Structure 1
Amino acid sequence: MSRRRAARLGAAELAIAGALAAIPRPTHAQAGGDAAAAEVLFEQAIALMRQGNYEQACPRLAESQRLDAGVGTLLYLAACYERLGKTASAWATYREAADAARRHGQADREQKAREGAAAIEARLTRLLVEVPADSAAPGLSVRRNGQELAQVLWGTPMPVDPGAYTVEASAPGRLPWSTTAAIDPAGGTVTVTVPPLEAAPPPQGAPPAAPAAASRGAPAAQTAPAAPPARPASPDAAGMPAQRLVALVAAGAGVVGIGVSVGLGFEARARFQDAGAHCDGDLCDDDGIEIRGDAMDLARAGTVVFLVGAAGLATGGVLWFTAPSPDAGAGTRPAVQVGLGPLGLSLGGRF
């Protein structure tokens, strides 16, 4: 370091010491250990400042102010911050000291504090954190050096001390983002813009999303269809082949049909007997003719039902005796189709 540079620094330190000496020493009215500790810390800080050791002096003044607040301590602390290069801290502390002096009716100290704040304000450095509308994801949290930055401060240039600042952003379901901004002591505003946060990948074990189309306009790859639900156990699992089950059904239907046909036959016979009161041999009056017609219709219906029932019974017999044994392989199992039509039962399939 040149001798001229050293001389300038010495003159500046002497000027600061003179300004500090002009400030009346604060009086601590509070009794007890806190006031005593505050007094000791204050005296240590003043000695360190006269030695140019502001790094150790400023924390002692801040703690002394916390233990026993005083306007004079605030003025010393603001001057210490200014010498340390913490312009934003010095500016804020000067303003705090001015307000405290005004409340206590200390006009001279208020004037010194306001002059100190005004001298620094033109040299303040500011950090502006912008959050565009497309970046404001639900639940977005923005932090500056680990401290939450309230949403009302987004987009507002805030005075900060020169140095490096880490800006972080996070939101539920999004990947976190961070960057570091360097604040130059020369002043000015540094802007940090929070970009839209990328979506976080699905947790491990979750099914992957369908891949994007290989080219613009190409349809997205379709996912494989889900496997169909398992079919309920077939009659084969119970020990009876399907063909024999169909045989039982067909035979049962045939027995019912034959039973119905017998009933229709008895009804037709009874109707013929009723017509005898209206007939003389083959000659009948109108009522006799109508009654005999009903009897003939019943007889014909009974015949048709009997034939259908007989066919069903016969079909059931054929299916039963041609069915494979229960332990036959799947390749020998029959495929049977049975239907009921106007001409009776229809049987089809392979055996």
Structure 2
Amino acid sequence: MKATALCLALAPGMALAQQVDPAVELEAQTLLDAALKLMADKQYAPACRKLEVVVTKIPHASGARLGLARCYRGEGRLASAWSQYRQAETLARTAGQADRVTEASTSAAELAPLLGKLQIEVPDDVRSIPGLTVTLNGKVQEPATWGIPFPADAIEHEIAASAPGRKRWRTLIRVYDKKKPTDGAEPFRVIVQPLEVNKTILRIDSPPDVLDLRGITIRVNGEVIDPLYWQKGSDVQPGAHEIEVIAPGRERWQTRVVIKEGDSATVKLEPLKEIKSVNASSVSALRVGGVVAIGVGLVGGGIGATLGGLSISKNNESNDGHCDAQNRCDQTGFDLRKDAQSLQLGGLIAGVAGAVILAGGVTMVVASSPSRKRNTGGHFAPQAQLFIGPTTLGLRGTW
């Protein structure tokens, strides 16, 4: 290990390179010193991570590149070491550092026959996908590199491909180095597979008791869905979807679901509640009660009308010589007027009460009629309106 030569490696190589901020150079030298100590103890993994930072901060330092190449070699990453040796050779040659040129070129030549190689194949039908991106361990691989074998470290690599509107494809492959230079070995090949279209799927999951309902219909956004696609799923547009389920004799069930592009959603149907019909005994009792109420209402209306007529008669009698046009009355006229007002009030009360009872009775009779049609919710809403006049009492409406 040439640790001594690397301790001051940053400064000599900078003469022909760009100027470096002193603070950055100091930080890089500190990291380099720490990495050398770790390498001396054969702790290559943490040492390499530090040297990677150094190379990032001062990319033109040939000594740092040599140090990283040696570290990678000790870590067993021969392809990465070979790459760093070659870059160090170029930097050292530019800086006129002959000893480093010799070391870098010699080491790269030693490693080259041992390197395992990786080849990423992208078939034409995959290449034609708009916006296709292929990555190796998260780094984009340019189309120019597709199909060309290149040195790769003897580790597990992730190759992935993605494109707008397509499902991401990925695979893992492990590359192995050669045991000796004379070993022949084909490159490790990976063929990128076609990317599936990123579909948005809606599935309907239903209990058997719901699926077996006679006449059941499921609508998505108002369109009837074929039963074959309920659980299998159907392609839908991303966004909000309204699901509605109807069946004869059952209450309507509905829900709403929002699906993102490329996702799938499963809607679980709930049992449809049965619409309960009114039984015969209830209808009969309701009808009888309605008839009785109509009778009571008519009697009340009759009493109101009678009292109203008597009130008018008393008022006319008071005007017959007992009260003048200015409503000045003698004692008899005053008593007649008072009786007329009492009769009028009683008639009004009896009439209103009779009309209300009559309206309720009519509603009960109409609601209990078995021949009346109900709406989809199983409810019928008759409407009634009461009208009262000085001598009239009536009921109008729709039934």
Going by fraction, where is helix more abundant, 1 or 2? 1
When Rg is computed on C-alpha atoms for both structures, the one with the higher figure is: 1
**TM-score if structure 1 supplies the norm length?**
0.49
The TM-score, its normalising length taken from structure 2, stands at 0.44
